[in-house]
Every structure is written in structure tokens, then in C-alpha cells.
Amino acid sequence: MPHYYALELYTPESPVSTSSETLPWSNEARKRLDDAGLVINHSLLVGEILGENINPAIELLDEINRANRLFEESYENAESSSAILYEEDINLLYEIFSKILEHLSAAISHTGQPVGIGGERLLASELVGNDANGVLYLHSRHVELLTLKMKLEELCDFLKFATAQNLLVKIEI
């Protein structure tokens, strides 16, 4: 999957209106996550470092990527495409990302410094660095893990909300 793609709540009858940032029936759930691709890719990397089984998510995203490539090859002038995640896919991603969030929350302090065995694993990885204050970050795009944790919370809330409201999720590639 490319790094840059968005997730948007979707219904088969009509797309959920994106005229405002949050949904009318929820003050918390956002309708669209523009930086979802980066959050997903970085979270999978952290999940792998922390020992989480990320293979089902990678297989699903690879399947979507293959379908997208076939679409682009079939329609030469296509600028972008989208894929729809159904309830089963949304639940799978929620399960994996909520576990990653749980592990990451246990591995960093409220200031982003390493804590416990998970923090040691992160610090031992060549993919993770720490600044002068001990705040952990991914070398890739210098993403602080505390910021990633907050973005991952948004992603999990988004996926959970989609399932609770019987909505689908559209991936805009």
C-alpha cells in the first residue's frame, strides 16, 4: 500500500457527508482520516517490534494493493481508486490495531519515554531512536511514538465507530 491514503466512513446507499469534521450523531468520531496510511504503516511497524502478530492486517492491505494495481493497469487514465472495507475487515483491523495500541501504551510513558519490557524492545530496535529527553521516535519520518499513539487512538475509535454504526470504510488510494 502507498504511504498516503485516507479512510472515510461510507454507506452503500450514499457516502457519509464530509461537510463537517465530525459526524452529526457523534462529537468524537471523525468521518475521515486523511493521514490513515501513515498511521497504519507506522503502527504496523511498531506492532511488529513489540511482538504483535500483524500478518493478517498486512495480508488484507496487500490484497487491497494488488486489486488497486490491477485497476490502474486496466484503466490507464485512472488517477486514483478506492476500496471498501466491510465489517469483517474493519473488525480484523480494529482487533490488531487495538492490540498494538495496548502494547504501545504500556511501552511508553505519558511523555513518550520508554517504559518496561516493551519500552526496552522499542529502544533496542534500530528503527527507533530517542532524543535528548529520551522521547522515542521512529526514524522513518521522525514520528514521535507519543504522537503515533494519539493517532492510533483516533484510528481505533474510527474503526470501532464504523462497526457500531454499521458503516463501511472506504480507502481512498
Q: pLDDT of 87-111, one tens digit each?
A: 999 999 999 999 999 999 999 999 9
Of 64-68, 99-103, 135-139, 154-158, minimum mean pLDDT range = 64-68
Residues 12-20: what's their mean pLDDT? 54
Query: Would 53 be classed as within a structural domain?
Result: yes
Domain of 119 in residue numbering reads as 6-172
- Whose CA is closest to 30, among 10, 9, 12? 9
Q: To 5 degrees, how large is the angle CA 110–CA 137–CA 64?
A: 105
Query: Would 1 be classed as within a structural domain?
Result: no
Query: Would 49 be classed as within a structural domain?
Result: yes
Query: Would 52 be classed as within a structural domain?
Result: yes
Query: Would 150 be classed as within a structural domain?
Result: yes
Q: What is the DSSP string of 124-153?
A: HSTTEEE-TT--EEETGGGEEHHHHHHHHH
Dist CA 107 CA 110 (whole Å): 10
pLDDT over 80 (residue 134): yes
Query: Would 153 be classed as within a structural domain?
Result: yes
Query: Would 126 be classed as within a structural domain?
Result: yes
C-alpha cell of residue 140: 522513518
* pLDDT the model gives residue 20: 46
C-alpha cell of residue 104: 504501545
* pLDDT the model gives residue 24: 47
